[in-house]
Amino acid sequence: MSRRNVHPLAHLALMTATALFAFPLVWMVLSSLKPANQLTEDPYAFWPTRWQWSNYPQALSSLPYLRYLRNSLILCTGSVIGSVTSCAVVAYGFSRLRWRGRDAVFGVLIATMLLPWHVTMIPRFLLLRELGLYNSLAALIVPTFLGDAFFIFLLRQFFLTIPDELSEAARLDGLGEWGIFTRIIVPLSKPALATVALFQFIASWNDFNGPLLYLSDPQKFPLAYGLEQFVSSYSDQTHLLLAAAVMFTLPMVVLFLLAQQTFLKGIATTGIKG
């Protein structure tokens, strides 16, 4: 359906939904610029009575933001590399290779999505501790190299949409499976791989339970866990809490704005095919 054929009420409904979803974010940004006394005396006021830009430097000086940001970027980068690499390889095996029991094993893999995180929490913790990874960012990065059922499913469905004729032609030219994967499948799957990367980046950026479980050294805290420590210490200074929350959210907003076209293309082109 072209844009010209969209009913005006549909545009109105989308604009209304956008405003409703954007309102909390806009309110947070505006409130982060309010004086402390306004948040106490009139917390529901929308506009600041005085634009207090000093809230941001004061908040950033009250927590090691750059250290937390560095740890978060290391965690997210390592997790993205682990998820994209492992899930793409496994998805290729489930979609482009034929072997006995493939569909049954894939069904078991999909069934693991029903397991809540709490079921594997203790065994994973004991395993990573025995491997000497406790209290390190590696404890959060290494598991991503073992694949994720949802990402494998997502990539498998995309790989199934790539014509088999391309792989057959490559095999006739003497190209092996690894060559087909790296030279044909991966280049044609950039939107889907970018979608997985963005999903994993967001998950690692917002992860609180992982750092809470595996990290005890404040020098290694990422932003999500460091912000919680900041909230505990400055619970009575709402203007600083809101400024810190904006600084936590800002990188994700920038990332999505930069990658939204690739992200939407990856979602749109991932066919749900049996």
At the top level of CATH, the class of 63-269 is mainly alpha
Domain boundaries, the chain: 63-269
Q: What is the model's pLDDT at position 4?
A: 57
Q: How far apart are CA 237 and CA 32, in angstroms?
A: 11
Q: What is the model's pLDDT at position 274?
A: 40
Q: DSSP per residue over 126-170, as a string?
A: HHHHHTT-TTSTHHHHGGGGG--HHHHHHHHHHHTTS-HHHHHHH
The three-point CA angle 28-48-51 to 5° equals: 100
Q: How far apart are CA 77 and CA 71, in angstroms?
A: 10
Q: What is the pLDDT along the chain (274 residues), one digit of tens a residue?
A: 445 566 677 778 888 888 888 888 888 888 888 888 887 877 777 888 888 888 889 888 888 888 999 999 999 999 999 999 999 999 999 998 888 999 999 999 999 998 888 888 899 999 999 999 999 999 999 999 999 999 999 999 999 988 988 888 888 888 888 999 999 999 999 888 988 998 999 999 999 889 999 998 989 999 888 888 888 777 778 888 888 888 888 888 888 777 777 666 656 655 444 4
Q: What is the model's pLDDT at position 37?
A: 83
SS3 for 35?
coil
Q: How far is the CA of 165 from the CAs of 9, 248, 270, in angstroms?
A: 45, 47, 19
Radius of gyration of the chain (CA): 23
The pair of three-digit structure tokens given for residue 31, joined into one six-digit string:
């409130």
